[in-house]
Structure 1
Amino acid sequence: MMTENKNAAAYTTAMLSTRLKEFKDRPVPLLRSMWPVLERLIMREHEMAPVWEELAEKRVTGIPLWILIEQCILAAVEGESGEHNTIRAEYRELQTLNEEISAMSIRLALLIDERDALLNRSGHFHVERMLRLTDLIDAAGNDNYLYRTRIKPELENLGQYDLKYWPDMAALLHALGEEKTEITFRYDASEAIAFARPSLRTDFFRNIFDRIREISDGSAYGLRPDFRLSDASLSTLCNVLLDLLPDEMTDAAYLKGVRQRLRKQGYSAAW
């Protein structure tokens, strides 16, 4: 086992070199965004050696080793490509769109109410429009084959009910405008990134914690549910994957502080 661990750096570096060559030598090269990060891991073999040795001690080899490294690389690529800033910007945009949809729905409902009031008090005009909810649904679903074959026959049976049984269009729009929309997140990392102050290193750790948790499922190609990397190894991964300058580099002490901050923010994946 000692010999195997000491050869871990050479073994892992050779594996990464093979992967990079496979990506580059295809007729259509694959995953170009990953190339610079892979090259850093290969060139900085001496620096990465303790990480590869720790993983060998934890019996993370073969396909599970590559899957772990791949997730780490993707976490770095997302940070470097501005993915985290995109998450924050898109979250703000989604909030704005929800607010605008509500406001516009209420405004449209009020316009319909105004039109009906004018028609009722004037007596000189009539506006041809769809009054039944079923008519509106039918018009919207006209190009949908499944609607026409499955829903429309059932909907036509409801045509026997007078207008008084149906909510009017203005009421539907009021309901849409008053709907309580809530933005939820698929991943803890995305939620933490959206609400946190921008920080390349902290964003990276949020992302990598989340990714490691996702693959720690006990499957044949995943990691054990109790898998953990030391703070020293995580710090080295951060320094190399993000290619940090000497005065920006992290260490085990820095990582402990990151964990504490993430836990205070309620980030459940900060193992």
Structure 2
Amino acid sequence: MQAFLGLILSTAAFWSPEKIANARAARDKLAEVNHQIARKAAELASLLQQRSDLHNSSGFSSNTHYHVCDVIESAAKGNYLFESHVHKPFQDLHTQFDLKYWPTLSDFLQELAFDAEAADPEARDPLTAASTAASRPSLYDFFKALLVAIEESRAHNYGQLPNEFKITDNALASFANCSLDLEPDDMVDSLYVKRLRQHIRDGAEKPKRV
């Protein structure tokens, strides 16, 4: 019982409707940041290539970095671990192979652009995944996180709840009403939880599209 009550309180604290809304906003922000990185890295890759072409054709140079290893070594200045353990073998590798063996600065930035463009934000834990899966937010999100938390806390997942542990719809509704401190008009009942569980079961039975 102590383990279950702790699970209820922690889920209400970290996956309340407000926290889930923040998680959704953070996911959207992450997607937007990756989009901007992809666009700006591609622009910078193009500019670096233009600068390299001008260095080779204009008769002028700007005394800037042109080798990716020079950039790494310069960026790592002040990093004690790099200086102590990596710098010497890295410098030996740098001098062993000339420029044609390494990616250009433009190639380096273009890869960052490709990587960011292909990025797809993913939840790092099952509760966040369950609570943010729906396209539209609702109180269902909290219950989905709570049900996943219960499953994750069973003995077969090395948790403290017995594998045969069950909780009635009415009890689950009461615990949610109290832990979320819902207003009287917002409180849920056993029928709400029953519909939610049926919804989850129906969703799990739908075949995945290939």
One of 184, 198, 217 as aligned partner of 2:122 = 184
Moved more, 73-82 or 181-190: 73-82
1:236-247 to 2 correspondence within 5 Å?
236-247=174-185
1:93-137 deviations in Å (ceiling 9; x for gaps)? 0000111111111010001112223333322x1111222222111
Aligned residue number for residue 193 of structure 2: 255
Aligned residue number for residue 97 of structure 1: 33
1:168-187 deviations in Å (ceiling 9; x for gaps)? 10011111111122322122
CA distance in 1, matches of 2:159, 2:177: 26
Taking a change above 3 Å as real, the CA distance of residues 170 and 87 of structure 1, as seen in their structure-2 partners, is: same
1:119 aligns with 2:58: no
Aligned residue number for residue 10 of structure 1: none
Moved more, 94-103 or 208-217: 208-217
1:67 aligns with 2:6: no
The share of aligned pairs that are identical, in percent, is 29
Aligned residue number for residue 89 of structure 2: 154
Q: State the SS of the aligned residue for 2:146.
A: helix
CA distance in 1, matches of 2:204, 2:23: 19
8 Å Cα contact 1:187/1:210 also seen in 2: no
TM-score (norm 1): 0.66
CA distance in 1, matches of 2:204, 2:28: 21
Structure 2 unpaired stretches of 5+: 206-210
8 Å Cα contact 2:131/2:142 also seen in 1: no
Aligned residue number for residue 106 of structure 2: 170
Larger Rg, first or second structure (1 or 2) = 1
One of 2, 24, 42 as aligned partner of 1:106 = 42
8 Å Cα contact 2:154/2:163 also seen in 1: yes
Q: State the SS of the aligned residue for 1:195.
A: coil
One of 120, 136, 143 as aligned partner of 2:71 = 136
Aligned residue number for residue 208 of structure 2: none
Name the count of aligned residue pairs.
201
CA distance in 2, matches of 1:265, 1:126: 62
1:209 aligns with 2:170: no
CA distance in 2, matches of 1:157, 1:146: 17
CA RMSD, aligned part only? 2.5
* Bigger RCO (CA 8 Å, 6+ sep): 2
CA distance in 2, matches of 1:228, 1:85: 29
- Give, as a single letter, the amino acid of the residue that structure 2 aligns with 1:253: L
TM-score (norm 2): 0.84
Aligned residue number for residue 60 of structure 1: none
Q: State the SS of the aligned residue for 1:223.
A: coil
Q: State the SS of the aligned residue for 1:186.
A: coil
Aligned residue number for residue 16 of structure 1: none
- Give, as a single letter, the amino acid of the residue that structure 1 aligns with 2:74: A
8 Å Cα contact 2:152/2:159 also seen in 1: no
